[in-house]
Amino acid sequence: MDLQKIIDYQFNKMQILNEALTHSSYVNENKTNSRIHNERLEYLGDAVLELVVSAYIFDKFPDMSEGDMTRLRAGVVCEPSLAECAKKIDLGKYLKMGKGEVANGGRERDSVLSDAFEAVIGAIYLDGGYEAAQRFILSFLSHEIHSLKGLKWVADCKTHLQEQLQKDSQEPIEYRVIKEEGPEHEKVFTVELTHGGRFLGRGEGRNKKEAEQAAARFAIEENRFYN
């Protein structure tokens, strides 16, 4: 499989990778006898990801306080960041998804891509152990960790953006839900952010709060409100 070359990891058990690449919509739509999809691997991968990033931050920044380490980790281990990693390897292309999910843009949706990226981490951990998963994770995120170090906005983008914008303007900052998709237990919200009527960004999340933070993060990164 091409994906194995892209991620520079060869699986010993291909069924683990296949499970990581199977979205629940594929199983539901095709009514297969198997109920295997990537949500359990996503759960495992999330835990491994948190450990690897936490240990890296702890080791590389010995003078950093607990609070700053927590904020830095939150800025790295978040949906937009993981979705960007998934896009770098074109992960959406390899996902087995239901036709309805594909038609709704599932292959490009941040929530789907970030979950699939965590599932791949879980699959590598099961197949090759901690060190293999660690190499994979840090090949994507070590640069991001160093880039975000010292940036105070990473944990609460909305507050930082508001502080920066209101230094020069009292125009209203508005977050508006423009799209709501998916079943009740798996909704995805898309929020559009404007300031004084000017478009600043758009973000997705599993709830409105997550989507608003993602939109604010986009605005900060695009406009360089880094102070």
- Rounded Cα distance between 202 and 51, Å, is 30
Residue 223 has pLDDT above 80, yes or no: no
pLDDT of residue 226: 42
DSSP state of 182: S
Residue 13, pLDDT score: 95
What pLDDT score does 1 carry? 62
pLDDT of 120 > 50? The answer is yes
Residue-by-residue DSSP string for 70-105: HHHHHHHSSHHHHHHHHHHTTGGGG-B--HHHHHTT
pLDDT exceeds cutoff 90 at 68: no
Q: Please report which confidence band the pLDDT of residue 210 belongs to, taking 50, 70 and 90 as the band edges.
A: confident
pLDDT tens, 2-24?
Answer: 899 999 999 999 999 999 999 98
The pLDDT tens digits for 99-109 are 888 888 889 88
Which residues touch 217 (CB under 8 Å, ≥6 apart)?
78, 80, 157, 201, 203
Supply the pLDDT for residue 133: 98
Q: Is the pLDDT of residue 34 over 70?
A: no
Q: Which of 24-33, 50-59, 166-175 has the lowest mean pLDDT?
A: 24-33
Determine the longest span between alpha carbons in the chain, in angstroms: 60
Model confidence band, residue 224 (pLDDT cutoffs 50, 70, 90)? very low
Q: What is the pLDDT of residue 141?
A: 94
Look at residue 54 in the predicted model and tell me its pLDDT.
Answer: 96
Containing H/E element for 200? strand 198-205
Beta strand 188-195 pairing with 198-205: antiparallel
d(CA 153, CA 193): 17
Strand partners, 188: 181
Token pair 């991968």 in the structure block, residue: 45
Give the C-alpha separation, 124 to 141, whole Å. Answer: 16
Q: Which residues are catalytic?
A: 46, 118
The pLDDT of residue 227 is above 50: no
- For residue 160, the model assigns a pLDDT of 74
Q: How many CB atoms lie within 10 A of CB 131?
A: 9
